[in-house]
Amino acid sequence: MSVNALLRCTIRLHRKHVTTHLVHQRSLSGAEAVNALRPFYLAVHPDFFGQYPRERDVNENSLKRLNGYLENLQKPGSHSVQPMKLTFYVRDTKESSDEQPDPLTSGFRSVSFILHTNDVLSTVMNVLTSCCLPVDHMKGLKASTSKETSKSPPEAQVPFYRPIKWDKSYYTFSGFRDPEQELQQARRVEPTLSLWLRNNEPEATKKYSASLPRREELKRLQKELCHKFNLADIRWQRNWAVAHRCCQLQSLVRLSQQNPEALIHLQGHTVVFADQSGMNASGHVMLGTMDVHNQWIKLLEQLPSYRSLHHQTDWLKERISLLLGGTQVVHMERLGPVQPITEHYSSLRSFHQSLMSQRLHLHPRSLQGLTMLLENDRSRPTLHEMGHFIIPTNCDPPQLQTFLQNHAPEARQRIQRKNQLQAEEEAVVKLCLRSLSLRSVTKEPSVSSSQMILCCRRLLEQHSPLMQGLLICVSHFYSVMQDGDLCVPWDWKS
């Protein structure tokens, strides 16, 4: 589920629960809860964390769990819910403040709290106060809900609840996660890893065995297409199931049989099956999974023009690097939504023109080895925890020069730390594969290297025989995937 759909789902979910309960403490309606939590949504909504995938996914998962908690409180006949610990990364939403935040920080803080309230009003208050957000607007709500509760007729206290439920095949086909399934998982008390493995290892093994023919077919098709059309690689934007990936490759095979000359333009390219067709900022060819063959053919015919545009972006990056002491402009697809090559070129061109308008005084190699991302919607430059700069496209050149020079030493230290963590992560993953006899160990983009290292070390210490032959994906929750992969939270309980 996308982050925009998540908030829409949240609002729709609570509006479906607009009701007044018999008990006074539960008299806050769903719509009023959404309005009361508006400052909270603005501070934690995943859309504002595009360049911070770990924090974005933590907020997205925590929002789903919070929604499930509120949903339980509003169901008729519910008396109590299990306490729930939540973690959010809260943005600083005081944009008008005269005080300038520290540019080395990312503009947000981590907040953890436990929900143990049994009514909507107290839960909303708990969330707002825990995040140090204003609660003045709640005073009027408290008074009004108290009056409405005493005056409402009995028939108004019966809620109307009819949620929209998508068929499970929608999530299998689209690659999106099933929110109902995740909410059910979030409601359960989190078990220990050994207990969860005992309960779910048979199902995972069965699903993996059933997926083996499809996995072999996927490898065959991928190898055949790469060899036949000299492709650099074939990738997928989303973690679609193996059967769905096979269908996408089979569709490309049919196109090659019906119109073989169209695929000649793909030589040397990396093909990415994505939500939309085009070329991304990295120069990879995206084939929209919802598009028909005619749309793919039209894109392939335009590839020479796209290649020319990609060469121009490379030239602009070289010129920008010369002007900024060797700092390289990079684009990291995993850190945010897919950026089309046309949008990336426009940002580079605008930024280059801005640098050319004022002469900077930077030694050609003074910032060698440093990297930066360009963002159109950022107001000030910052330094990411992983060591790369995040720079607004319209940043004032003299201000940018000062910022880069002042924070270059800290950036180098963070890059060194990142490289050390990545090397340590790679080593401990290899050790897990060998010592635990696992088929694979991967992680979601939202899991940091330090979290992955800690998780793998604990797995080695526990050395559970139930893990032998499994495919493990380190995540933030437990789940058995369609093809037998097992998701385990990085901070699993022992």
Predicted confidence (pLDDT) at residue 296 exceeds the cutoff of 70: yes
Q: Is the same domain home to 255 and 300?
A: yes
Q: What is the pLDDT of residues 54-90, one digit of tens each?
A: 777 788 878 888 887 887 787 766 556 677 778 888 8
Q: Is the same domain home to 449 and 360?
A: no
Q: Is the same domain home to 83 and 125?
A: yes
Q: What is the pLDDT of residues 373-403, one digit of tens each?
A: 998 877 789 999 889 999 999 999 999 999 9
What is the rounded CA–CA span in Å between residue 381 and residue 385? Answer: 13
In-domain check, residue 21: no
Q: Is the same domain home to 284 and 368?
A: yes
Residue ending a domain, choose from 418, 449, 473: 418
pTM of the shown model: 0.63
Q: Is the same domain home to 255 and 344?
A: yes
**Phi, then psi, of 441 in degrees rounded to 5:** -135, 115
In-domain check, residue 296: yes
Q: Is the same domain home to 302 and 439?
A: no
Q: Is the same domain home to 207 and 280?
A: yes
Q: Under a CB-based contact definition with an 8 Å cutoff, are residues 305 and 285 in contact?
A: no
Q: Is the same domain home to 405 and 273?
A: yes
In-domain check, residue 160: no
In-domain check, residue 186: no
pLDDT (0 to 100) of residue 182: 59
Q: Is the same domain home to 429 and 354?
A: no
- Supply the range of the domain harboring residue 462: 419-489
Q: Is the same domain home to 352 and 442?
A: no
Top pLDDT among 228 and 155 is at 228
Top pLDDT among 494 and 273 is at 273
Top pLDDT among 335 and 275 is at 275
Q: Is the same domain home to 340 and 259?
A: yes
In-domain check, residue 58: yes
Q: How many domains would you assign to the chain?
A: 3
Q: How confident is the model at residue 102 (pLDDT cuts 50, 70, 90)?
A: very low
Q: Under a CB-based contact definition with an 8 Å cutoff, are residues 340 and 351 in contact?
A: no
Residue ending a domain, choose from 418, 433, 468: 418
In-domain check, residue 97: no
In-domain check, residue 390: yes
Q: Is the same domain home to 402 and 423?
A: no
pLDDT (0 to 100) of residue 254: 93
Q: What is the pLDDT of residues 398-436, one digit of tens each?
A: 999 999 999 999 999 999 999 999 999 999 999 999 999
pLDDT, mean over the chain: 81
Stretch among 50-54, 136-140, 169-173, 256-260 having the lowest mean pLDDT: 169-173
